[in-house]
Structure 1
Amino acid sequence: MTVDLDESVEPDHEPGHEPGHEPDHEPEGAVDNDFDDLDVVADEHSVSLFEGDEGGLEYAQRHTLVTLLKQRFISARTHPRDWQTLVDHERVLRSRLNDLFLDLQIDPLREVAWKRQATSETASRFPTLLHDTAWSREETLVLVHLRDRLRAGLASGDARVYIDREDIVEYVASFRPAHATDEAGDEKRARNAVVSIVKAGLLIGSSGDDRYEISEAVEPLLPLELLQELLEALQRANGTEVPDADPEADLFEEDAE
């Protein structure tokens, strides 16, 4: 079972939803430099940055627009200068994305922004630059667990929430069907899922770390109803009944506000 979440700019591909399709992540360690190259620009407030330049955005605005297109999301935590530029110039950046049939989504409370394919009012299909990829079963379970732990930590007053790699692997293992015998293969897939989520930026740290910070982007980026439905389906598929009053159900409800 899979859930489509990843969206990255892929001009040479049509969006697909093939089960088991690997997410097309940025290479490990390819974190946006958040303006580290600003000093090579002669005048960051100029809208003419190279010979023949007909663009109408300043350097910082263009940098943020490119980051929004390349990355799954930006946040005040991971891209502080891009986030501030977005806050200061939201209307013009939203307009540029709209020109590409993309819709800008912003969660001001968690300070996270991401893009979505725009939907036509007439149900017709727009041309798209986005390539939708499907998360694997193990990756989806990791996302469910991260959202669970993030909400629990924030409810306890933690400013930042951390999780151990082994905690994640054990959670995924708890969904292994009783008839499954390839424990080594299952564990390898669970550990690979952790690496994928790190590359996606939803776990902050390096792939080889034993402990990670959970990104605040986990909650606004995930389709909550689908994750709940998936978790229940996995429980039933593994031969375990889902209680009528699931003790974890409140973790999938929207905040009262």
Structure 2
Amino acid sequence: MSVETHPETTETTDVVEMVEIDAGVDEELLDETSVSLFEGDEGGLEYAQRRALVTLLKQRFISARTHPRDWVVLVEHERLIRSRLNDLFLDLQLDRSREVAWKRQATSETGVRFPTMLYDAAWSREETLVLVHLRDRLRAGVASGDARVFVDREDVVDYVASFRPPHATDVSGDDKRARNAITSIVKAGLLIGTGSEDRFEISEAVEPLIPLELLQELLEALVTANAEAPAEPDDPADLFDDDADADPVAAGDPAEEQ
């Protein structure tokens, strides 16, 4: 199963880091109602619209909470920004109820593959398990009426460890991979830091970005893999194989990528 759920945006051959780069921009010097922002500028978007577009290209997703200023602009000028993404063979995905927006690679009706700015970076096995747990916790919390849902680091580590098969003996290595998976999910913006380094808030973006049906399918595959005794010590079917990092599990679908 090879599916794309962890796409990055590239600028030529380099990966664009998920950080804000407009910290040095003096917005007081900019006329946000003008579409001409520099000498020779032939762009058709105002400054705020361009900023929202750039943020959407850089980030895996934007939301009303993480990028409130850009979210407002995106909602107000959805059609215009969508058209700019379409020019790049990208499609805008918008979940208004959860106030989350993300991009995905456009697909041709004839099956022709378009040039892409995205590349596949599949979630690892441990990251997949973390996402399964976060989605379950988020849905349970929302169903209970919680406006914000939190999770502790050790709770997540214990959940991943619960899938360790009987024949797995590298406990310390398994623990390290689980903690690295949490760090990766934090960097993806799907876990939000709090005042404590061991407690996180689960982003509302987890549910729309990670389709439930696919996570259930992957979870079932991982459980099945654990139930099968390896033919030899380094059987690649082992969820906690020492070479697991070199054999990532893809946890999504191109049609549901961010």
**Interval containing the TM-score (normalised by the shorter chain):** 0.7 to 0.9
| Alpha carbons of structure 1 residues 146 and 38: separation in structure 2 relative to 1, 3 Å | farther
CA offset at residue 3 of structure 1?
5.6
Distance 1:226 1:126 in 2: 24
Distance 2:203 2:180 in 1: 18
Moved over 2 A (4+): 1-4, 11-14, 24-27, 32-42
> TM-score, normalization: structure 1?
0.83
| Alpha carbons of structure 1 residues 107 and 209: separation in structure 2 relative to 1, 3 Å | same
What amino acid is the match of 1:138?
E
CA offset at residue 2 of structure 1?
7.3
Contact 1:5 1:134 in 2 (8 A): yes
* Partner residue, 1:88: 76
Contact 2:92 2:101 in 1 (8 A): yes
Contact 1:25 1:199 in 2 (8 A): no
1:42-100 deviations in whole A, cap 9, x for unaligned?
Answer: 21111111111110101100000001111000000100000000011001000000011
Contact 1:26 1:199 in 2 (8 A): no
Per chain length, whose mean CA-contact separation is higher, i.e. which structure has more relative contact order (CA < 8 Å, sep 6+)? 2
> TM-score, normalization: structure 2?
0.82
CA offset at residue 38 of structure 1?
5.4
| Alpha carbons of structure 1 residues 149 and 201: separation in structure 2 relative to 1, 3 Å | same
What amino acid is the match of 1:46?
S
* Partner residue, 1:56: 44
SS in 2 for 1:5: coil
Gaps of 5+ in 2: 229-258
Distance 2:2 2:123 in 1: 5
Contact 1:117 1:130 in 2 (8 A): yes
Match of 1:104 among 92, 96, 110: 92
1:210 lines up with 2:210 in the alignment: no
Distance 1:165 1:38 in 2: 38
Distance 1:181 1:226 in 2: 29
* Partner residue, 2:125: 137
Contact 1:161 1:214 in 2 (8 A): yes
Aligned residues: 228
1:26 lines up with 2:22 in the alignment: no
1:77-135 deviations in whole A, cap 9, x for unaligned?
Answer: 10000000001100100000001110000011100000011110111111111112111
CA RMSD after TM alignment: 2.3
CA offset at residue 206 of structure 1?
7.0
* Partner residue, 1:4: 4
Contact 2:9 2:16 in 1 (8 A): no
Gaps of 5+ in 1: 15-23, 241-257
Identity %: 72
SS in 2 for 1:87: helix
Deviates more, 1:192-201 or 1:205-214: 205-214
Deviates more, 1:38-47 or 1:216-225: 38-47
SS in 1 for 2:201: strand
CA offset at residue 9 of structure 1?
1.4
CA offset at residue 208 of structure 1?
7.7
SS in 2 for 1:166: helix
* Partner residue, 1:247: none
1:44 lines up with 2:32 in the alignment: yes
Distance 2:129 2:195 in 1: 18
1:199-235 deviations in whole A, cap 9, x for unaligned?
Answer: 0000011798110000000000013222111111111
What amino acid is the match of 2:173?
G
1:137-172 deviations in whole A, cap 9, x for unaligned?
Answer: 000100000000000000000000000000000000
What amino acid is the match of 1:151?
R
